[in-house]
Amino acid sequence: MLKADDSMFNITQPGEETQSERSDTNCGESLRSEKLDDGQSEPSEKADRSTEKDDGGSTAEPNEPVENEQRNENIQKNVNGTAQKKSVKFDNVYMRDAYLVLRTLCKMTMQPMPEGPIDPRSHEMRSKMLALQLLLSVMQNHAGPVMKSHKTFAQLIKQFLCVALSKNGVSTDPSVFEISLSIFLILISNFKYHLKMQIEVFFKDIFLSVLENPSYSFQHKWFVMRALAKVCADPQIIVDIYLNYDCDMVLDNIFERLVNDISRIAQGNLADHGLTPQQEAQLQHKGMECLVSILKCLVEWSKDMYRRPQQRLDESTEKDGEGKDTSTLEEKLLETPGNENIGNDTPRSIPRSTSMSSLASAGLLDNPQEFENIKKQKSILEQGIEKFNKKPKKGIEFLQDAGLIGPTTADVARFFHTDERLSKTMIGEILGDDSEECKKIMSDYVDQLDFNDMAIVTALRTFLAGYRLPGEAQKIDRLMLKFAQRYYENNPELEMFASADTCYVLAYSIIMLTTDLHNDQVRNKITKPDYIKMNRGINDSQDLPAEYLEGIYDEISANEIKMRYDKGELTRVNAARGANESQKRQLYKEAMTDLSKNALVMMEGVSKKDTVFTSASHSEHVRPMLMLTWTPFLAVFSITLQDCNDTELIAQCLTGFKCAVRVACIFKASLVRSAYIQSLARFTMLNVSSGFSEIKPKNLEAIKTLITIAFNDCNYLEESWYDILKVISQLELAQLIGTGVKTKFLEKETMMDKKLVSSLQQTLGTSANQNVIVAVDRIFTGSDRLDGSAIVYFTDALCKISCEELNNPVAHRMFSLQKIVEISYYNMGRIRIEWSKIWHVIGDHFNKVGCSPNEEIAAFAVDSLRQLSMKFLEKGELPNFRFQKDFLRPFETIMKNNENNLIRDMVVRCIAQMVNSQARNIRSGWNNIFSVFHMAAADRDQAIVELAFQTTASIFEQYFSVIGDSFQDAVKCLSEFACNAAFPDTSMEAIRYIRRCANYVTENPEQFAGDDNNQENVWVKGWFPVLFELSCIISRCKLDVRTRALTVMFEIMKHHGKDYKVAWWKDLFNIVFRIFDHMKLTDLTPEQYRIQRKEWMTTTCNHALYAVVDVFTQHFSILSELLVELLNLIQWCVKQDNEQLAKSGMNCLENLVMGAGHSFKEADWDLIIDTITEVYAQTLPADMRIWKPTLDSSFDQVSLHSDTSMEPDNTQLAVSRADKNLFQHLDIGCVVQTEIVQTIDNIIFFPASSAKEDARIDPYYISEENDTPPPEGMFNFLTTKQLFRVVECLFESHKFSKGFNMDIDQRKILWKYGFKGKTLPDLQAQETSSLLCSLRILHKIYSDMSRVDEWPKTEIYLHRLTVESFEYYTMLEEDKRRFSWGKIVILMLKKMMLLDDERFVVLLAKCYNQICHILAQDNERDLQIVLSKFFLRARDPLFKASS
């Protein structure tokens, strides 16, 4: 056992290997004494041998890119000792030995191969294979935790093993290539956390390039596909690749490129790769396996987010009862190739190295949101680069707007240097553009290059490496000028160049020399002396050294300055160069040689870079991965299913569909999910229009896959249920057609023949395919496994399919409608909040189906509703819930919109059955029940009306106490029965039940008040509905029914009004006033309106008005606040052109005052007086004084003035309709004016008391035994001011009528045209009655001792009135008028005689002359007697006055 001290393991690493070390690398001698370096010497040595032959025997290209040259120069500096020495420490000797062994094996694999064809038995090849196999064995079997975690071994792998693999990974020998791939798989599995940059190189520059380049052999491609199949089967690796490369701003999109390349292979797009059909098929199968493995990895990685459907509660009972496990149905359904159980299978993958948690510290924290933001920025950057490569200025503007490039030209120039994805041609276009901004960019671009200590050729190579030189001479000239300026500034110590002009001319000459020597079209090549001669005098009129120019010539001749081509452009350029296929293949090989060298350079360049590898740990990464790749996946699967009949490929495609749908469902990617399911649904070929004869076995497999998705991912499908259920519906139709039952469903009868029926029966009738039918049934029977939102999507889709089936123009089907009923039963046990959402969808569908014009469909819908409703009502309902209302609403809709009597009768019978059997369980459903009966009540079918009313009556008789909040609907229902004019007996019976409702409210107010004993609810929920519906009956029904309703309504008000509050009365009178609003409607024709209006006013309005006033008078103490509304109503009635209603209005006003006047306040009396004056003003027939006929020639104006006779002839002339209406209006106005006077008289003096009072005024009146004083009116309740207002109104009435009576000509005109019938029109009654009433009021005031203060004003009125009356009487000549005015004179004289002597003498003095004139005339005997009594009364006062 060796005892080693620390010095044994402290190994010094020089920057250069010793000579003995180089000589001993193949044999591996004295490893313990060998000095170890940190990896710089070996890459340098290998770089120096870059011009040697590679392991494939081909000679390396002599013209290496500028990167190789620069790399060699940098390495040479290290070789010359510029690098610092470093030491590596080991924990023990075994670690050092392992380190030395691995490094030696890596060096052995990179030994050059001899020229010529490769001999597998050669020493060099056997040595290389041995070293590779040993490396594979060590990495596969002996790479323990120390090697995986120790930094020293990580550096060893990066600097030696990865470089070795990059060289052998492009080997043309299949064995070398295969072992290299195997070692790479181990590295990506166990050491990926240290090899982030190396893995990118492997994928981007080696493996994916092999797949993309047609020049590689089938074996190379096959080995790569086998390796990728293992990579694609590891979920951790797949997600890590996306996270570390596709979500890195500077690295290539490895995952996206991997999927795209494999998709291209899986589609079989390999026609230009020179493969046989068998080889293409093998690659296609392997590519399909890789794609499906990737999707399985995505499913596996996101499985924690997946929720499996709930198991049915009765599943175990089904197993026991049926004797078999229902899950076996699914297993049978899935017993098809490629239908593995997603989520339960473990993908075949390369072994896991360590757990995720143990490696989480090896990288960045896995923040999904941060990586997603990076990916979005990268996508924007790539979009900007794409724009730049097409239109560079727009691309720059886009990237600057996105904030990915700074606003300055220096930022743009720096971006040109750093991003290799930019088009070199477009960069050259920008740098050579003549605009000032582009010139500034070009200047900054060159200034950012460092040409210090570079030869001019090397500097020129570096300068031209970043872009492609434009073709225009002026652009090239500007670039060369700037290059010369920059080169001269970076190399001031070069004394060879006199100025920058020398650099400019020399650079230009180098460009020309390169074109001349290496352009095949130039035949006469320039010679070295010619080149030296061409450059004479360019150095400030001096020559550059000839040796210097010769060196430039030799270097350019050996290694031309090559222009940089864009990726993808090389193929087009090389294709243009070659004239045949062999030349093109040779050019491809040359390009791939450059690619292998670039891969080696890239691997060496990243060997010392320390990058952080993030280990994915979150499931959220799968969502952006899916969104990035779902389209190529879908394209591959769709094309393969459509064009291929290979069973294995079809099975893989269907598995891919299941996996893709699963991931899309988990992350709610509705677009992706819909695209895959719709595509899969199309492949089922279940479409009537295309013909079922096209169904093939692969279509049946697609059906099975779709059903499997529906069963397993049922909670995530959302709108995609429509496509799945559409297929299920068509599958059922195909079965019907296959059995020959439903041939009518085919659009063309010619398609249906025995051969087709036999084909469908054979396709769908096998026992294996019968399992599909069983699985379909399980989708519906297992719908209770769906969560609350999924079942809503399911039912909505099923309803849409049902609508399509029922609206089929060929023949309707009810398959989906039956399934709707079934799933309703299966899901009846859900919680109410879920069931209400389900029924919202199903109920709307039943609304449509129940209103179908097809009687069979509508009847099925109604019967299904009945069954579901009965089932649901059995569960009952808690108080204050409303689900029964929602459940029974379809019955309302059907009853409302379906005019088929059979269906309407069926609805009524269904509701009646519910009431008879489930009345005790009904709560909120009463609203719907009464609503249905409400619509049935308006029907014209006797059977429907009778059944509905009988059921309604039974509810009132037996279940009145349980209808609860539906009391209003019940009363409304009765109201509709009452309004059905076709059944008068039912109407009267309905009103009787409404009267019972009022009694019920009185007896059970607590049922309406609620738990909080809110009395307002008694009115709102109890009284108001009853009275309101009665008012509706009054407004709508015929005379007998509305009269009965009116009677019942006011009976209720009279008997129960004492319990009403003021607010209730306000609402009630609003209801009552609606009765009078009926005739305000104008939706009738004029003739209909006139007839109905007349009937309404003479019957209902009269009755209602008297009843309203009666109730108001009875409850005035409560209703006093509503006096204004009542007076407005009376005023409205009086203003109508109906004589009877107008009289009734004034009579009602009189009744109101006489009944409640003793309770009036002064303000109430003001309202009464206002009403009287307004009615007087509004009904005054003023047009009587001014009306003239439209045709003056129709009347002899002269005869009117010449004929003084008051008896005109009987000839009358015709007038227009408008004038007739006017005459009618004026006639009614005259009646109203008279009624006003009579009403005033009756109010103030009480009816019929005026005549008795006049008789008692006679001083010689002899009273009888039973004679009682006349009853007092309301005189004492009115103020003098109010009485004077009445007197003024009477004066105005008297004045108007008196003026009309004196206008004989106008009266004759009116009579001539038919006004007032056959007699000459006059207003004699109005003239005299108004004056008499005013006289009574004034004398009553004048005799009232309590109003002494008002006597002076009263005297003025009396003096004026008395004098005017006496004078007018003396002027009268017409006997009729003198007789009428004689009564006035008698009353005046009698009233005067009752005055005391003082007031009598004063009044007598005012009218003494007029009385004497009356005495001188031929008067009636009554007047003469009164005059004699008057003068006898005046004797004593006159004598006293004279004495």
Catalytic residues, which ones? 472
Q: By C-alpha distance, which of 469, 473, 468, 449 is closest to 459?
A: 449
What's at 839, amino acid-wise? W
| Cα separation, 33 vs 96, whole angstroms | 11
Nearest to 619 by CA among 299, 1027, 196: 299
Q: What share of the chain is helix, strand, coil (3-state, %, to 5)?
A: 70, 0, 25
Rg value, the chain, Cα:
58
Number of helices and strands in the chain (H, E): 68, 2
**Pseudo-torsion of CA 993, 1003, 955, 894, nearest 10°?**
80
Residues 1001 and 1026: beta-carbon distance below 8 Å: yes
SS (H, E, C) 770-826: HHHHHHHHHHHHCHHHCCHHHHHHHHHHHHHHHHHHHCCCCCCCCHHHHHHHHHHHH
Nearest to 192 by CA among 225, 143, 229: 143
In the chain, the amino acid numbered 1411 is I
CB 716 within 8 A of CB 790: yes
Read off the tokens for 721.
């249920």
The 3-class secondary structure across 1098-1152, one letter per residue, is HHHHHHHHHHHHHHHHHCHHHHHHHHHHHHHHHHHHHHCCCHHHHHHHHHHHHHH
Residue 1248 belongs to what H/E stretch? none
Whether residue 416 contacts residue 465, with contact meaning beta carbons closer than 8 Å, is answered with no
Query: Cα(777)–Cα(728) distance, rounded to whole angstroms?
Result: 10
The one-letter amino acid at 857:
I
Q: H helices within 37-161, ranges in order? A: 41-48, 66-77, 93-109, 123-141, 145-149, 151-156
Buried b (16+ CB within 10 A) or exposed e, 992-1024: ebbbebbebbeeebebbbeeeeeeebbbebbbb
**How many residues comprise the chain?**
1443
The DSSP code for 718 is: G
Among 431, 425, 410, 426, residue whose Cα is nearest residue 475: 431
CA–CA dist 270, 221 (Å, integer): 11
Buried b (16+ CB within 10 A) or exposed e, 172-206: bbebbbbbbbbbbbbbbbbbbbbbbbbbbbbbbbb
Reported in sequence order, the residue ranges of 651-714 that DSSP labels E, i.e. its strands, are none
The answer to whether 467 and 422 have CB atoms below 8 angstroms apart is: no
Contacts of 88 (CB under 8 A, 6+ apart): 11, 13, 36, 38, 99, 152
Q: Give residue 985's identity as a one-letter amino acid code.
A: D
What is the C-alpha to C-alpha distance for residues 1116 and 1156, in angstroms, rounded to an integer? 7
**Distance separating alpha carbons of residues 800 and 726, to the nearest angstrom:** 9
**Furthest-apart CA atoms within the chain: distance in Å:** 183
Cα dihedral 855, 857, 858, 864, rounded to 10, equals 140
